Structure 1
Amino acid sequence: MKALRSALAVAVAAVLVAPAAFAGPKCTDAPRSQWLPEHAMQERITAAGYTIDKFKVSGSCYEIYGRDKARRRVEIYYDPTDGRVVKQRGDE
């Protein structure tokens, strides 16, 4: 019985912590009507030298998975209202 309670406690903790671990940044509070069109944002990103493998809306951000000018993998979150980088991860 004690093992069952311990397992249940671990499962509940995992459910409560997991969404926070995978949540992306908050990029904007602006309504979607004020966002740059997706195709315009993609053009800006490629003009900056990035290759886009995947482009998506992630919460209040535009998010890409792709490669930078040096062909390193990147994951970048952009503010969809002005195109600024909010968070970036990549191969170091």
Structure 2
Amino acid sequence: MKIVTVRQLSLAALIVLPFAAHATGTCTNEPKAKWMKERDVTAQFEKEGYQVKRIKAEGTCYEVYALDKNAKRHEMVVNPIDGKPVKEEANE
């Protein structure tokens, strides 16, 4: 059995945590009480022509999973204060 030291765990955290934060991004420092409601974010994206499949809170952001008018899948990290994407990934 291998024993992992505190130093090894600290080094691993320094390497992994920045990547984890980058995956979702930092969207806001505002409390959740000030966030847009999920239904309002959905309505905003539907006005832009998306068919929203799912929204979930992840860290300080919303993650929005939607289809565009060509049925192309989009995964977006969204600022919950203004509903604007901070990161987007489109899949065929």
Q: TM-score, normalised by structure 2?
A: 0.73
Cα distance 1:22–1:53, how it changes in 2: closer, same or farther (>3 A)? farther
Q: CA deviation at 1:44?
A: 0.9
Aligned with 1:21 (options 11, 19, 22): 19
Runs of 5+ in structure 1 lacking a partner?
A: none
- Aligned positions, number: 86
Q: CA deviation at 1:80?
A: 0.8
Aligned to 1:70: 70
Cα distance 1:70–1:60, how it changes in 2: closer, same or farther (>3 A)? same
Q: Secondary structure at the match of 2:53?
A: strand
| C-alpha RMSD of matched pairs (Å) | 2.6
* 1:55 aligns to 2:29 (yes or no): no
Q: Percent identity?
A: 29
Q: CA deviation at 1:22?
A: 3.8
Q: Secondary structure at the match of 1:56?
A: strand
Equivalent positions of 1:33-44 (< 5 A) are 33-44=33-44
Q: TM-score, normalised by structure 1?
A: 0.73
